[in-house]
Amino acid sequence: MKKILMSLLILSAAATTKAQDSKTPFSTRNFSASAIKSVESTTSGGNISVSGTATGQAAVEIYIQPGNSRKNYSKDEIQKKLNDDYDLRVEMEGSKLIAIAKPKKRNMDWNDALSISFKITVAKATNTNLTTSGGNVSLNNLNGTQDFTTSGGNLNIDQVGGKLNGRTSGGNINVKNATDYLDLTTSGGNIDAESCSGEIKLSTSGGNVSLNQLKGNIDATTSGGNVKGGSISGELEAHTSGGSVRLDGLACALSASTSGGSIDIAIVEPVKFVKLSNSGGNIALSLPAGKGYDLRLSGSKIKTENFANFKGDIEEDEIDGTINGGGVAVTVRASSGRVSVTMK
């Protein structure tokens, strides 16, 4: 029995030695953070993560796993595949930190490929240019110009300021605590934006858009999903071709539209204008009472509540007039749906 237990322990130890731990770097290179002004990183199948640090130490951690999850390589086997099949560069080029992993052959058998990821730590004030064809891109605690692209992974951004341009063909976008300028696009995923400010442009071709605690000039568009959220100030454009728009706690100028869903809006502080358009569904709008409005409402049927001090024309399907002498321009048009406007 003791011999059997000893044999099992030896086999277990051998299996542990053979496996390359996904949480342990394959290798690490250290640099002086003050010497780095920008980062260029490219990998064909792994993730790229760049984080800012307050210390003077910068580092590139390299993580390597089999591209095929059913395979298992030892560190020596990975090193041999790296030498035979990949060009791996981690070095300084002037003030630019380079971290690049590329296959040597274009017609590589991807069933036998490696997934090479980079976890990069640099000074907070660093620009980046990042590209991966299949992994995620993550940015944290940075300030500068950030250009990043992935063909199939997610974009994760937290505590990043400056100019951000991010693209993913199929993944989700999660951004929070970002400032200044954001231009983020996904072809098929969802977008979740929280606690951001500045010029914000968000676009997805097929997913939902969630907007919460945003401030600035915001343009959010989806071709097939819903737009929802709240606590937004500044100026907001929210458009979907096929979903619904549901927003509350708004203290912003607003332009919102959909071709197929419903629109449900709650304004707490009107600013400049409210423009709502729906080609196929209903519109419900809540406005704070006691303010001045210029109203232009149309729909198959219009319902109003608490319309004090109104002057103008009221029809079943159209209202044109002012409240409290006029003020914020409110234009609501539902081509075939009903319109409900309530003063609270």
Each of the 344 residues of the chain gets a pLDDT tens digit; together they read: 433 333 333 333 333 333 445 679 999 999 999 999 999 999 988 999 999 998 889 999 999 988 766 778 888 988 999 999 999 999 999 999 999 999 988 777 767 789 999 999 999 999 999 999 889 999 999 999 999 999 989 999 999 999 999 999 989 999 999 999 999 999 989 999 999 999 999 999 989 999 999 999 999 999 989 999 999 999 999 999 989 999 999 999 999 999 889 999 999 999 999 999 999 899 999 999 999 999 999 999 999 998 889 999 999 999 999 999 999 999 999 988 999 999 99
| pLDDT attached to residue 328 | 97
Buried residues in 188-223 as b, exposed as e (16+ CB within 10 A) = ebbbbbbbbbbebbbbbbebbbbbbbbbbbbbbbbb
190-197: Cβ within 8 A, 24+ apart: 190/225, 191/220, 191/222, 193/220
Other beta carbons within 10 Å of 305: 11
pLDDT at 260: 82
Q: Confirm whether pTM is higher than 0.75.
A: yes
